[in-house]
Amino acid sequence: MRNKIQIKICVGTTCYVMGASDILTIQDELTPSISDRVEVLGIPCFDLCKNSANGKAPFVSVNDIIIDSASLDKVKEYILELTQKL
């Protein structure tokens, strides 16, 4: 049984206003075969937005790889690529 792909979405203040609220619907946006392989979690804060060297909010991690300036499309694309490799 494969481990589920873990998506962590930061729901802190900056990430939320910069687009995390849209990304929270991601499980509904994936096809059922992919959606079943994915687990979506919220986290209160990645502590990344305070340092511009980390990139821009919103921040999402997929299997602990951080994606900055995340968007629903960007994260979906990343997951599709990942599922093709795994």
Partner 1 sequence: MKYFIEVDYAQNYKYNQKICGDIFLLSKSENKNRIVFTLSDGLGSGVKANVLANLTATMGQKFVLNNLDVKKSANIIMKTLPVCSERKISYSTFSICDISSEGLVKIIEYDNPEYMFFKNDKLCKVSKKTIPLERKPFGKTEKLYYSEIKMDFGDRLIVFSDGVSQSGMGNASTPLGWRRDHIIKFITDEIKNNSNISASNLCNKITSHANSNDIMEPKDDITSAVVYVRKPRKLMIATGPPIDKAKDKLLKCKVKNFKGKKIISGGTTANILSREYNKKIKINLSNNNMDIPPSSTMEGVDLITEGMLTLSKVANFLEKKIAYKNLPENAAKSFIKHLINSDHVYFLVGTKINEAHQDPNIPFDIGIRRTIIKRIATALENIYLKETYLEYI
Binding site for partner 1 (CB under 8 A): 10-14, 16-18, 20-21, 24-25, 40-45, 47, 49-50, 56-57
Given the complex with partner 1, which of 45 and 82 has the nearer CB atom? 45
We find the least distance from the C-beta atom of residue 84 to partner 1, in angstroms, to be 26
We find the least distance from the C-beta atom of residue 64 to partner 1, in angstroms, to be 16
Task: Please report, as a single letter, which amino acid is at residue 43.
Answer: I
Helix (H, G, I), strand (E, B) or coil at 40: strand
Sheet strand arrangement including 65-67: 38-43, 5-10, 60-62, 65-67
